[in-house]
Amino acid sequence: MDNIEGILIDLDGTLYHGRHRIPGADVLIKGLRDAEIPFLFVTNNSSRTPESVAEHLRGMGIEAKAEEVCTSSLAAARYISEESPGATVAILGEEGLHQACMDAGLTPVSEAPQYVVQGIDRSFTYNSLAQASRWIMEGAVSVLTNPDLMLPSDDGVMPGAGTIGAAIEAASGVAPIVIGKPERHLMTYATSLLNINPKNAIVVGDNMRTDIAAGAGAGCRTVLVLTGLTTEENLEHYKTVTGITPDYICADLTELMALLGL
C-alpha cells in the first residue's frame, strides 16, 4: 500500500471485544506510532468523551490519547456548528454528546431549539419523545449521532441511539440527518481532523454495514479485518447486502500490520 496519509481505526470488533483486547491490537498501535503514521480511533459511540474512550483503551493495554479519539458526538456537534455557528440545541444524550456540543460553541436550551441532536440516552422517557417530536414538527432540524439499533453490553444487547431515533422519526414524521457510520460524515470529519485527503486515508474495521460502508462512502480506501462481526462465512452475504467490496481483507491484525508494512 502506498500514499497512506492516515489510518481511521474502528474500535469494538477491531481492537477489542467489550473489555477484552483483540490479539495484536496493542502491537498495531505501537507500530503506527513507531512508523509515524497518523491515525485516529473512530467510533459511533456517542455516550463517552474522548478521554473516557482513551481511558478504556489504556485499561486494555492499548496506548491512546484523548486527541486521537473521534466520536459520532464530536462529528455531530461539528456538523451543527458549521451549519449554524452558536446554534441552540436540545440535547438528548449522555456526557459525550453534551461535552461535544459545549466544546463546539453550541447553546443548549430546553425550549424552541434550532436543532434536536440525539444519541444514546439511557434516561430517555415518553416525555422526551413527545418534546423532541414536537420541536422537530415545529421546524427544528433533527440530527442523529449514529443509527446503531442495538449495542453490546455486559448484560447482553441493549437498544442503541438508532432505536431511540426511530421512535422520534416515527412520532415526528421527519427523518434525521445521520452523522455516524454507515453515513460518510464521521469519516469525512475524521480526515479533516488529520488534514488529509480522504483518498489517502485507510479505514480499518470489522463491520461491512458500518465501517466499510462509511469508508467507501467518504472516498477512503477500506480494509476489512475478520476479527469481529464479519467472518469468512458471512462475508459474501454482506458484500451482497451492502453492494460493497473492501479494498483489502485481512484475517487478523497480524495480517493488517504486514499489509501496512509495520
Contact of 166 with 202, CB cutoff 8 Å: no
Angle between helices 72-83 and 95-103 (to 10 degrees): 30
**Which sign does the torsion angle of CA 220, 57, 224, 257 carry?**
positive
- Examine the residue annotation and report whether 10 is marked as an active-site residue of this protein: yes
**Could you say which of 12, 121, 148, 211 is catalytic?**
12
CA distance 39 to 42: 9
Contact of 78 with 104, CB cutoff 8 Å: yes
Contact of 205 with 10, CB cutoff 8 Å: yes
Alpha-carbon Rg of the chain, whole angstroms?
Answer: 18
Bridge partners (DSSP) of residue 12 are 16
Bridge partners (DSSP) of residue 250 are 225
**Which sign does the torsion angle of CA 120, 101, 52, 68 carry?**
positive
Count of CB atoms situated within 10 Å of the CB of 258: 10
CA distance 99 to 35: 32
**Could you say which of 2, 10, 26, 103 is catalytic?**
10
Question: Which residues carry out catalysis?
Answer: 10, 12
